[in-house]
């Protein structure tokens, strides 16, 4: 009986160790076929551009093609759901953005929980947003803008990409912290023509969208939303210099379905961080007005949780509903 019992315990221990051994072997041979990064936006805009930059360099490092799969729609929720429902084997990844953390509170009927169903793999890019106005607007500085807004409540129109978009929630945070009343004008298409013509007076935008117009004098930059000044606009103050504590980032990252093996996530994180450390990649991201956002998976997960909580409070306070 003792011999049989020892034999049973030996087999049980071997069976328990097998999944760990197989996962390790799986990670060592990963990847053995092409990967895809699912992007919730059309080709040509910032999340797509950064995903393609990462995909190209990652393909070279992994020795397998990394394909960008554009699945726009529903505020990037379609793309997120594709990845949530994918096999957790490291071959289907999500191009995450700040919008995913906003959507967690914006939509009541999501079929997934972003924090619970997407594993954080790596950060890739972050940039400020820029508060800018049409040059015909009377305020020349951020201090003058705030003073004008307080003296003229409800008379400044600001544009966004739609209800619950990052420009919308960032401006709502600004309204609360600066104590001003601005009127939201949501757009389904680009608001740039109306901002350039003066039909709307202000907007928070990404550098990739408006930096060329700012440099050409067609728009006037008043402030950047990060805690430090931007390298692409070093003479423009931070919003926090006039509204203490104000901070907001546009950021991108890579996620995977939950239960993706830790060994695979760690391998992807290592390779993506190596891509971001390359001087050529840093220069390409700087051209988009941002910088690499290298993070360990746990650090990125904590950051995403904090972002989700932050924007949930803004959405509740401002009563924002999907457009």
Question: In CATH terms, are 20-126+249-318 and 130-241 the same topology?
Answer: yes
pLDDT, position 28? 73
Cβ-based neighbour number of residue 274 at 10 Å: 14
Confidence of residue 134 (pLDDT cuts 50, 70, 90): very high
pLDDT, position 23? 53
Mean pLDDT within 292-302: 98
Confidence of residue 27 (pLDDT cuts 50, 70, 90): low
Cβ-based neighbour number of residue 59 at 10 Å: 15
71, 47 contact by CB (below 8 A): no
Confidence of residue 45 (pLDDT cuts 50, 70, 90): confident
pLDDT at residue 221 greater than cutoff 70: yes
pLDDT tens-place string over residues 75-89: 899 999 999 999 999
The percentage of the chain sitting over the pLDDT mark of 70, rounded to a whole number, equals: 92
pLDDT tens-place string over residues 176-197: 999 999 999 999 889 999 999 9
Residue 253 Rama label (left phi>0; alpha psi -120 to 50; beta)? beta
Q: Give the residues across from 186 on adjacent strands.
A: 160
Mean pLDDT of the chain: 92
Of 211, 208, 212, 206, give the one whose Cα is nearest residue 225. 206
pLDDT at residue 18 greater than cutoff 50: no
Q: Which of 12-21, 23-32, 217-226, 305-314 has the lowest mean pLDDT?
A: 12-21
> Which of residues 23 and 102 earns the better pLDDT score?
102
pLDDT at residue 317 greater than cutoff 50: yes
Whole-prediction pTM: 0.88
pLDDT, position 259? 97
pLDDT, position 82? 98
Q: Where are the domains of the chain?
A: 20-126+249-318, 130-241
286, 208 contact by CB (below 8 A): no
Two tokens at 57?
């360099």
3-state helix, strand, coil in the chain (%, to 5): 50, 20, 35
pLDDT at residue 9 greater than cutoff 60: no
Output the CATH code of domain 130-241.
3.40.190.10
Of 137, 138, 91, give the one whose Cα is nearest residue 264. 91
pLDDT, position 90? 98
pLDDT at residue 20 greater than cutoff 70: no
The percentage of the chain sitting over the pLDDT mark of 90, rounded to a whole number, equals: 85
Confidence of residue 25 (pLDDT cuts 50, 70, 90): low
* CA dist., res. 223 & res. 230, Å (int): 10
Mean pLDDT within 84-101: 98
Look at domain 20-126+249-318 and name its CATH class.
Answer: alpha beta
pLDDT, position 208? 86
Q: Which of 5-9, 114-118, 161-165, 176-180 has the lowest mean pLDDT?
A: 5-9
DSSP letters along 255-282, please? EEETT--HHHHHHHHHHHHHHHHSHHHH
Confidence of residue 21 (pLDDT cuts 50, 70, 90): very low
């Amino acid at each position: 009986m003792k011999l049989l019992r020892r034999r049973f315990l030996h087999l049980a221990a071997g069976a328990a160790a097998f999944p760990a051994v197989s996962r390790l072997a799986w990670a060592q041979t990963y990847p053995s076929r092409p990967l895809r990064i699912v992007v919730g936006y059309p080709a040509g805009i910032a999340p797509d551009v950064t995903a393609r930059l990462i995909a190209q360099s990652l393909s070279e490092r992994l020795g397998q093609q990394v394909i960008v799969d554009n699945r726009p729609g529903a505020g990037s929720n379609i793309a997120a759901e594709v990845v949530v429902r994918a096999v957790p084997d490291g071959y289907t990844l999500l191009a995450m953005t700040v919008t995913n953390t906003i959507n967690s509170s914006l939509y009541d009927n999501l079929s997934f929980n972003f924090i619970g169903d997407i594993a954080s793999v790596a950060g890739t890019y972050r940039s400020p947003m820029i508060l800018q106005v049409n040059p015909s607007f009377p305020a020349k500085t951020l201090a003058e803008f705030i003073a004008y807004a307080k003296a003229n409540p409800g008379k400044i129109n600001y544009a966004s990409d739609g209800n619950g978009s990052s420009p919308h929630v960032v401006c709502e945070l600004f309204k609360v912290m600066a104590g001003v009343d601005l009127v939201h004008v949501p757009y389904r298409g680009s608001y740039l023509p109306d901002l350039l013509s003066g039909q709307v007076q202000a907007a928070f935008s990404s550098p990739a969208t408006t930096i060329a117009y700012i440099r050409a004098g067609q728009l006037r930059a008043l402030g950047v939303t990060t805690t430090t000044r931007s390298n692409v606009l070093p003479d423009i103050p931070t919003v926090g210099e006039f509204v203490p504590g104000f901070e907001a980032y546009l950021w991108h990252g890579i996620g995977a379905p939950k239960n993706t093996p830790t060994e695979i996530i760690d391998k992807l994180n290592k390779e993506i961080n190596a891509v971001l450390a390359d001087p050529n990649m840093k220069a390409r991201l700087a051209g988009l007005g941002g910088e690499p956002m290298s993070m360990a998976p746990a650090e990125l997960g904590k950051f995403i949780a904090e972002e989700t909580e932050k924007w949930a409070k803004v959405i509740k306070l401002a009563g924002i509903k999907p457009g």
